[in-house]
């Protein structure tokens, strides 16, 4: 199936609820009762809806479909693949070759061998290129999950992330490049441009806001910043696809009405550095479930 066709399939999905297609007839139905409900919902500001979401979210994360992708990622990590017929077991994720425990909660970080800031996915792509001989351009062609395909880096990131389950987030800020990345990331986060004048902060710069019914974490605050890290990579219920932070950043920029950021680019690494450092000290629960 072609990718265009696939996109359309997703868009047409009767069950995956896509905003644009919604509920245009609702206006006529049972106005009185609905009005009362609206009032109730509006009054109870810290609403039971959110509490209910959270409760069932947690129940589902106890047995998350993300585990299926973790298993797939482990298989890929250990398999000899690519032009060089090598596994990724010697990949250095910042704690030494082959050390997986705790690596995910310490990225993005500066990698001297590459001379670059790298988030987990960028680093894994780097290892796939250097160790296995894959081409970066090929990996960047269709880097995000679709109905017909979960790209290898997605499963690999999920596996690597799972190896930091229950560990404290400790993104390093020792190297000057790491501190610089944080500062540049903050500027990217706050940069308003495009036809709708949006920056990341337009939606994620204030406490207690929501878009439709979805709560928006204030990613500039210490308290909320964890929510940009927690649950990623995440199994997205809409479409039932596994997604990483690379996808999340990409789709945020799309909705920000920006042009497209490069996959596994430095821009994304810096932006993720800013958000991840703000989440330092929290315990990472592993790959999660997203709406």
Partner 1 sequence: MKKSQTSIFAAAALAIALTAHAGDDRAKAVALMQRDFHAKGIAHMDRLNEDALQLVCNRSHNNPPKPVAERLQQDQLEAIKYPADGKFLGDWKSGEKIAQTGSGMTWSDKAGQANGGSCYNCHQIGPNETSFGTIGNSLRQFGKTRGNSPQMQKYVYGKIYNAKAFSLCSNMPRFGHSGTLTEQQIKDLVALLLDPNSPVNK
Partner 2 sequence: MDQTRRNALKAGGGASLYALLAAAGVLRPDTALAADWNQKAFEAKNLKDAFDALGAGSRIDSADIVMTAPEIAENGAVVPVGAVSKIPGTESIAILIAKNPTSLAANFDIPSGTEPAVSTRVKLAETSDVYVLVKAQGKYYVTKKEIKVTIGGCGG
Partner 3 sequence: MSDPMRIRAVAKDGAVNVKILMSHEMETGQRKDAAGKPIPAHFIQQVSATWQGKVVLSAHWGTAIAKNPFLEFNFKGGKKGEKIQVSWTDNKGEKRTDEATIN
CB of 4 to partner 2, least distance (A): 17
What mask, x for binding partner 1 by CB under 8 A, covers residues 205 to 224?
A: -x-xxxxxx--x--------
HSE, side-chain direction, 13 A CA sphere, residue 183: 6
Q: Does 23 bind partner 2 (CB under 8 A)?
A: yes
Q: Which of residues 228-247 bind partner 3 (CB under 8 A)?
A: 235, 237, 240
The Cα–Cα gap between 196 and 209 comes to 19
Q: 127 an active-site residue?
A: no
The Cα–Cα gap between 61 and 67 comes to 10
Pick what 168 binds: partner 1, partner 3, partner 2, none; C-beta below 5 to 8 Å, kind-dependent. Answer: none
Q: For partner 1, give the closer residue by CB, 39 or 84.
A: 39
Q: Encoding tokens for residue 152? A: 């290898």
Q: For partner 3, give the closer residue by CB, 2 or 25.
A: 2
Q: For partner 3, give the closer residue by CB, 14 or 176.
A: 14
Which one among 105, 125, 203, 242 touches partner 1, defined by CB under 8 A? 203
3-state secondary structure of 167: strand
Pairing type for strands 231-236 and 287-290 reads parallel
Q: Encoding tokens for residue 78? A: 């250990």
Q: Select from 182-190, 207-215, 226-234, 266-274 the region that touches partner 2 (CB under 8 A).
A: 207-215
Pick what 9 binds: partner 2, partner 3, partner 1, none; C-beta below 5 to 8 Å, kind-dependent. Answer: partner 3
Q: Which of residues 145-204 bind partner 2 (CB under 8 A)?
A: none
Q: Does 22 bind partner 2 (CB under 8 A)?
A: yes
CB of 189 to partner 1, least distance (A): 9
Do 164 and 284 form a contact (C-beta atoms < 8 A)?
yes
Residue 250: closest CA among 226, 268, 273: 268
Q: Does 176 bind partner 1 (CB under 8 A)?
A: no
Rounded to 5°, the CA angle 8-234-269 comes to 95
C-alpha R_g of the chain: 20
CB of 196 to partner 3, least distance (A): 28
The Cα–Cα gap between 97 and 130 comes to 13
Catalytic residue among 91, 127, 203, 252: 252
Instruction: Mark residue 197 as left, alpha or beta (left: phi above 0; alpha: psi -120 to 50; beta: remaining).
Output: left
Q: For partner 2, give the closer residue by CB, 1 or 18.
A: 18
Residue 272: closest CA among 260, 281, 264, 284: 264
Binding site for partner 1 (CB under 8 A): 7, 19-20, 22-24, 26-27, 29-31, 34-35, 37-38, 41-42, 180, 183-188, 190-199, 202-203, 206, 208-213, 216, 253-255, 257-262, 265-268, 270
């Amino acid at each position: 199936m072609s990718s265009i066709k696939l996109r359309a399939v997703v868009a047409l999905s009767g069950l995956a609820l896509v905003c644009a297609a919604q509920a245009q007839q609702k206006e006529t139905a049972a106005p009185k009762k609905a009005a009362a409900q609206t009032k109730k919902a509006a009054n109870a500001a810290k609403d039971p809806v959110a509490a209910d979401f959270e409760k069932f979210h947690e129940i589902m994360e106890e047995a998350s479909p993300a585990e299926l992708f973790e298993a797939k990622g482990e298989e890929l990590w250990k398999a000899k693949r690519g032009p060089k017929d090598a596994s990724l077991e010697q990949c250095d994720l910042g704690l030494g070759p082959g050390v997986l425990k705790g690596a995910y909660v310490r990225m993005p970080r500066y990698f001297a061998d590459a001379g670059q800031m790298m988030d987990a996915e960028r680093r894994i792509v780097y290892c796939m290129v250097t160790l296995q001989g894959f081409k970066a351009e090929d990996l960047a062609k269709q880097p995000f999950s679709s109905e017909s395909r979960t790209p290898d880096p997605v499963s690999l990131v999920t596996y690597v992330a799972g190896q930091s389950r229950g560990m404290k987030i400790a993104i390093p800020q020792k190297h000057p490049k790491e501190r610089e990345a944080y500062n540049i990331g903050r500027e990217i986060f706050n940069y308003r441009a495009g036809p709708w004048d949006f920056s990341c902060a337009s939606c994620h710069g204030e406490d207690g806001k929501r878009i439709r019914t979805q709560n928006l974490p204030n990613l500039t605050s210490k308290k909320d910043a964890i929510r940009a890290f927690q649950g990623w990579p995440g199994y997205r219920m809409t479409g039932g696809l596994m997604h990483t932070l690379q996808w999340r950043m990409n789709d945020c920029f799309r909705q920000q009405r920006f042009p497209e950021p490069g996959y596994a680019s430095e821009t994304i690494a810096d932006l993720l550095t800013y958000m991840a450092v703000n989440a330092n000290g929290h315990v990472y629960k592993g790959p999660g479930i997203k709406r």
